[in-house]
Structure 1
Amino acid sequence: MGAFLRHQHTLAAALAVAALARAPALAGVLEQYKICGGDARVTCVIDGDTIMHQGLRIRIIDIDAPEISAPKCAGEAALGHKARHRLRDLLNGGQVQIVKFGSRDEDRYGRKLRLVVVNGRSAGDILITEGLAWPWEGRRHDWCRALGQKPK
């Protein structure tokens, strides 16, 4: 990812976090997030950019993380699992705020589009910094190409 794009995303994340004081938020009081599985999907992590929070399905608005359910190559699957576990660890590491940000409330799958903030910092920004996600650019990222792998 280019330095300009990283800077642009960091600036957007900083502005979004600054807006927290004015925006209504769902605040988690140090809830325990697990990896989603089976029928128990109340407060858990589905993948690197989708969570369940108190029964509400939330798509993290500012990132694209690798797919787990339908990866296009082995590298994407492996990185997707790392992103999911890292997101779980982040969410369990402090005060979580889930904030409506932007003009759209839901995506085409009915997921709520929200900024997820942990201890005052965008969880998406952290995942991007650690190479586990890319800034959302309106479409999915080609993880296989970025990893130098051919799709299945």
Structure 2
Amino acid sequence: MAVAGFYGRDAISDATGLGLISNSSVAAGRGSFRECYTPLDRTCVIDGDTIRLKGEKIRLLDIDAPEVRDYKCASEKERGDRATLRLVEILNSGTVSIERKGSRDVDQYGRSLRIVQVDGRSAGGILVAEGLARPWSGKRRPWCL
């Protein structure tokens, strides 16, 4: 399935001139996303709440998913792996769009903060509904009991 539109840092500025357009369709067809295996992978899923799109790291703004690298217990790693694989499935299921929301554009790690939607539904919201992530509360909370 081809996707209309395009995405890129130099594509279109928003009304403030400070960043990307608020709603932008991504040129990523069905099957374009996979897990990231190397830093050279340009369009892939890093973990349950971070993707790389055409080389740009994007943090899903609305959720927190368990860690797959700096995990604190085996169950966090297992849940993080499930969230990562499910996010790959979600992103490959339809038209992906990226929305800038709020005044904060990037996080402390340099990742763009965005709402990621597939066919108009929040990818993060799907993960939350399926119990693979939780809504972002503004700070990290432990996944291990």
Q: TM-score, normalised by structure 2?
A: 0.81
**Which residue of structure 2 aligns with residue 127 of structure 1?**
127
Asked if 1:47 corresponds to 2:50, the answer is no
**Which residue of structure 2 aligns with residue 141 of structure 1?**
141
SS at match of 1:34: coil
**Which residue of structure 2 aligns with residue 8 of structure 1?**
none
What amino acid does structure 1 have at the position aligned with 2:76? E
The 8 Å contact of residues 22 and 98 in structure 2, kept in 1 or not, is answered as no
Asked if 1:73 corresponds to 2:88, the answer is no
For structure 2, the 5+ residue unaligned runs are 1-20
What is the Cα-based RMSD across aligned positions, in Å?
1.4
Larger helix proportion of the pair: 1
Identical pairs, percent:
49
The whole-number CA distance in structure 1 between the counterparts of 2:102 and 2:26 is 18
SS at match of 1:116: strand
**Which residue of structure 1 aligns with residue 93 of structure 2?**
93
The whole-number CA distance in structure 1 between the counterparts of 2:42 and 2:49 is 16
Shift, 1:26, TM fit: 4.5
**Which residue of structure 2 aligns with residue 27 of structure 1?**
26
Task: Encode CA deviations 1:103-150: one digit per residue, 9 max, x unaligned.
Answer: 1000000000000000110000000000000000011121112xxxxx
Q: TM-score, normalised by structure 1?
A: 0.78
